[in-house]
Structure 1
Amino acid sequence: MGTFYALQLDGLTLEQVVDQKTEKDLMSFRHRVFRESLGWLPVAPNGSDRDEYDVVSNNLAICQSKDVVGSLRFTPGTQDYMLEKDFSRLLSSRETIRKGGNSAEISRFAVDPTLSPQLRGSAAQLLYLGLWQWAEWNNLRWMYFVVVPSMYRRLVSLGLPVRPLGVPRPLDGGVMSMAGYFDWHAVNMEAIHSLRLNVALPDACPKRWREYDYSH
């Protein structure tokens, strides 16, 4: 299990999923988003989005009171990636994926579309910041992902250190998608400072990490 301390903003909390109830609620939320709404995967009879990658991955959830309203998953670089198995067609022949202890794959990145525009913005801010916090607290440099092109452009506009791994191509169902990665050694800390605005760390977070986060 990786290291993560909750982030809080506007009544929302981004936290690592460690208990069975939150995990069940998270899988139901993901099912509604990725299977029922987007149709990226078949609807499951049990209403759960759990798959083979959850066995080896760490999940984060955004919670509003007792409801899950956002999701984010990290698969460590010691395991197979969806990008290697399910989405390999998106990789340019000139690109290679770096694996190992300083690498991870991001998947199941989502925000509840029924939230108000303000809360959707706050939830997205927590997820973007959560990417960097997970990398920082777990000594990761490379993070791989598959997104729609508009999402990739959004990451670029935020000043985050993303690079493409190929050109956009249609996946099953015709959804245009592209592969990319973060190189956190190239991060612009001004972008992180912007994402940190009004975000609170819990008292449980070690003092040295709170001081580091606010000083960089």
Structure 2
Amino acid sequence: MGNFYSLTLDGLSLDLVSDAQMEAYLMRFRHRIFREALGWVPVSPSGMDRDEYDALSHNLAVSWRGSVVGSMRFTPGERPYMLESDFAQLLCDGDFIRKGRGSAEVSRFAVDASLPADLRAAASRLLYLGLWQWAEWNDVRWMYFVVVPGMYRRLQSLGLPVHPMGGLRPLDGGVMSMAGYFDWHAVDMDAIHSLRESVALSDACPERWREYDYSH
């Protein structure tokens, strides 16, 4: 099990998914985003977005009033990445993916666009902060991803340490997408402090991590 403790902001909570009911809510949310809206993968008769990577990964969900309104998934570096197979067409010859300890892939990153603007912003901030928090608590330096160009520009604007890979190409469903990675050793802690504003750590979080997070 990966190390993660709840982050809360404005009535929303980002948590590691650990029970069957929350997992079912999450998979229905992901189906609506990635299969129905984006068309990255075919619609499933079950209404669930579940694939072979879920058994190898850690899922996180943003919840609000009992509903899932945001998601992301971390695959450890010892496991296969979507970028190595499903999204390999986004890479160019010579692109190198670091594997093993210290590496991870983040996928299924989404926020419910139907939320009011203030809650949508809060949910997004929890997910952005959760990226760094996962890297920090699980000793991950290199974190790979696939996003639409607008999302990549958003990550840049937040001051997060992103780097592009490959080229811009359409995935299934026609959505223009690109690959990239975070180098968390190059993170600007001012950017993290900005994301951390008003975000609360779970009481269950070990004191040593609480002290570290609030001192950096």
TM-score normalized by the length of structure 1:
0.98
Match of 2:200 in 1: 200
Distance apart, 1:119 and its partner CA: 0.4
- One-letter amino acid of the structure 1 residue matched with residue 190 of structure 2: E
Distance 2:2 2:52 in 1: 18
Please say which of residues 33-42 and 186-195 is displaced more in the overlay.
33-42
Match of 1:166 in 2: 166
Distance 1:34 1:16 in 2: 20
1:38 aligns with 2:38: yes
- One-letter amino acid of the structure 1 residue matched with residue 91 of structure 2: L
Deviations 1:52-111 (A, max 9, x none): 000100000001121111100001111110000011111121210000011000100001
Match of 2:13 in 1: 13
Deviations 1:110-154 (A, max 9, x none): 011111000000000000000000000000000000001110011
Match of 1:178 in 2: 178
Q: Aligned to 1:51, what secondary structure does the other structure show?
A: coil
Q: Aligned to 1:49, what secondary structure does the other structure show?
A: coil
Match of 1:51 in 2: 51
1:155 aligns with 2:155: yes
- One-letter amino acid of the structure 2 residue matched with residue 74 of structure 1: F
CA contact (8 A) 2:41 2:172 kept: no
- One-letter amino acid of the structure 2 residue matched with residue 60 of structure 1: L
Q: CA RMSD in A?
A: 0.8
Q: Aligned to 1:8, what secondary structure does the other structure show?
A: strand
- One-letter amino acid of the structure 1 residue matched with residue 175 of structure 2: V
CA contact (8 A) 2:4 2:15 kept: yes
CA contact (8 A) 2:38 2:175 kept: no
Distance 1:143 1:15 in 2: 19
- One-letter amino acid of the structure 2 residue matched with residue 6 of structure 1: S
Q: Aligned to 1:164, what secondary structure does the other structure show?
A: strand
- One-letter amino acid of the structure 2 residue matched with residue 9 of structure 1: L
Deviations 1:26-65 (A, max 9, x none): 0011001111122221110010001000010000000112
Match of 1:22 in 2: 22
Q: How many residues align?
A: 216
Q: Structure 2, unaligned stretches of length 5 or more?
A: none
Distance apart, 1:214 and its partner CA: 1.1
Displacement over 2 Å in runs of 4+: none
TM-score normalized by the length of structure 2:
0.98
Distance 1:136 1:55 in 2: 23
| % identical equivalent positions | 69
For 1:48-197, what aligned pairs fall within 5 Å after superposition? 48-197=48-197
Distance 2:169 2:49 in 1: 24
Distance 1:171 1:69 in 2: 24
Q: Structure 1, unaligned stretches of length 5 or more?
A: none
Distance apart, 1:2 and its partner CA: 0.2
Q: Aligned to 2:163, what secondary structure does the other structure show?
A: strand
Q: Aligned to 1:44, what secondary structure does the other structure show?
A: coil
Distance 1:94 1:52 in 2: 27
